[in-house]
Amino acid sequence: MGFRLNDPSGHSETTAIRKACKKLKTSDLRGAVLYASLQPCLMCFSTAFWAGISKIVYGCRKTKEMITKHYYEGSTDIHTVNKNNTRKIELVYVPDFEKESLDVVQVWEDQRQANPMKVFVGKGKAEEKTDAVKEIKHYYQKSPRK
């Protein structure tokens, strides 16, 4: 979404963090959980770190194909970065939603190719991304903890 808004930091995770900070009138989101369709990129992971996010739950891991399509900055592994950070974020991959997460990405990709200048927010198929993240959140909250 960032390229359509001329905002290179305008990824859904950073947008969600900005909105939460603004709504709560704080930059300290300690204890918060970030839910995402895809494994966050390094920028989004770093933003979550600096905001104090405690846990990130996501439904699809980064792949080489996604790197090739420029969904990610490169092959930097957030798990390795996390191990070296002064504060660890709990990273939770929920594989049960990988297909749904990839379907959401495909819808976004199809919309972007059909109309690269249009921003898809709030209406139509873009809402499916929000629904997929809600499903991941619901599933994670209901599943037994390891």
The whole-number mean pLDDT for each consecutive block of 10 residues of the chain, a chain of 146 residues, reads 62 89 94 92 95 94 85 87 96 91 81 62 44 57 57
2-114: which CATH topology?
A: Cytidine Deaminase; domain 2 (3.40.140)
Model pLDDT, residue 50: 96
Q: State if pTM tops 0.85.
A: no
* Helix-strand-coil split of the chain, %, nearest 5: 50, 10, 40
Q: Where are the domains of the chain?
A: 2-114
- Rounded to the nearest 10°, the torsion over CA 25, 2, 9, 77 is 120
Polymer length in residues for the chain: 146
pLDDT at 109: 77
Query: In the beta sheet, which residues pair with residue 36?
Result: 58
Residue 42: per-residue pLDDT: 93
pLDDT of residue 122: 41
pLDDT at 146: 46
Instruction: Classify residue 56 as exposed, middle or buried by CB count within 10 Å of its CB (0-12, 13-18, 19+).
Output: buried
Residue 116 confidence (pLDDT): 58
- Per-residue pLDDT at 131: 54
